[in-house]
Amino acid sequence: MNRGAHADRFKDIVFPREEIRRQAVNLAPRGPCAAPVESHDQARPTVELEFVTWLFARSGLDARHYRPETLHRRLPACLRALRATSLRQARELLEQNPGLQSSATSAFLVGVTSFFRDPIVFDQIDHEFLRDTAQSKRGIYAWSIGCSDGAELYSFAMVLADLGILVDSYLLGTDCRMDAVENARRGTYDASTARQVTPALLSRYFKWNGSCFQISAELRQAVRWRVSNVLSEFETGLWDIIFFRNTAMYLQPETALALWPKFESALRPGGLLVLGRAERANGVQRLRAVGPCLYRRQPR
C-alpha cells in the first residue's frame, strides 16, 4: 500500500478529546524501551538542605526561616567563596577552618545596600518625620536590621548631623553576619561606593586615606554595631525608626508575618518602619502605609 492510500485509510477517524493522547501513544511504533534510570540529581535537594541546615546552625541561624528557592540560588556563590567544587568538600573545609564560616554564611545572606539608597525614601522620611523632630531638638532612636556594611545607617547619621541632633541620638545597626558588622564598624568604602554621596557630604563626613574613603570619627562614634539575629534576638525598647529593607522578602511568609507585630510594639507612636518596595507589613492594626516603603505606627 502506498503512502497516499495509507493516509486515506485513516483520514476519517476522529478520536474523542480525552482519548487523543492515549490513542496517539498506542499508534506509535513499538520497539525496545529502556528502563527509566533514576538521576543522581533527585537526591540533590536533600543533600543541599542538609548542608545549609548544618551551616546555618553553626552560625546560630535556622534555615527553615528562609525561602528554600533563595538558598538554592545562592549555593554556587557559597561554593565559590570557599573555593570548593562540592558540598562534601565545602563541609570539610569549614570543619578544618572555622574562620571560613562567616564568608560561607554571607554568601547565602548577601546584603545589598548603598549610601542614600532610593533617595525618594529619604525625602519621605524627612517630610513625614524628621522636620518636626528637628524642631523639638530631640534625639532619634534608630535601628537598622540587616545593616550589611552600614552605608544606609551612616547615611541617616549624616542627615541627623546636618539637623544638629546626632549627638543626642542612639543609632544601632545589627546583622547576623560577623564580617558585615566588622565592615560597618570600620566604615571604609571604595571610591565607586562613595560616588553616591554628594560632594558636600563627602567633604564633611569622609576622609580619603590614599586607597579608600573612611567615615568621619564623629559618625563612627555615634553609631553602635552588633552581631544579632532579629529572628531570635529582638532589640527591645521604643524606636523612632526601624530600617528593615529587603530582608523580609527572603524569609518564609509565616516567619515575616510573625515579625510585624513585634515591630508594631517596638515603635513609638508616630514612629516609622522602613521596608523594601516589594515588602508589605500585613496583618497588623497600627502600622499604616504613609508612602512607598514607609509605615507609621498609629496610636492605640
Give the pLDDT confidence of 157-177 residue by residue, as tens digits.
Answer: 999 999 899 999 999 999 998
Asked if 183 and 53 sit in the same domain, the reply is no
At residue 47, φ and ψ (nearest 5 deg) are -65, -40
pLDDT category of residue 236 using cuts at 50, 70 and 90: confident
DSSP letter for each residue of 158-221: HHHHHHT-STT-EEEEEES-HHHHHHHHHTEE-HHHHTTS-HHHHHHHEEE-SSSEEE-HHHHH
In a domain, 278, yes or no: yes
**How far apart (Å, rounded) are the C-alpha atoms in residues 144 and 233?**
14
Query: Which among 60, 82, 108 is the end of a domain?
Result: 108
Are 160 and 170 spatial neighbours (Cβ–Cβ below 8 Å)? no
Rounded to two decimals, what is the model's pTM? 0.81
230 and 98 share a domain? no
Q: pLDDT > 90: what percent of the chain? A: 62
* Domain assignment of residue 100, given as a range: 45-108
Query: What pLDDT is recorded for position 134?
Result: 64
What's the mean pLDDT when you consider all of the chain?
Answer: 84
Let me know whether 88 and 124 are in one domain.
Answer: no
Lowest mean pLDDT among 1-10, 121-130, 237-246: 1-10
169 shares its domain with 238:
yes
Number of domains in the chain: 2
Dihedral sign, Cα of residue 43, residue 46, residue 47, residue 48: positive
Residue 209 falls inside a structural domain: no
- Strand (E) positions, the chain? 141-145, 170-175, 188-189, 206-208, 213-215, 223-227, 239-244, 267-275, 287-291, 294-297
Residue 198 lies in a domain: no
Query: Which three three-digit cell numbers place residue 68?
Result: 528554600
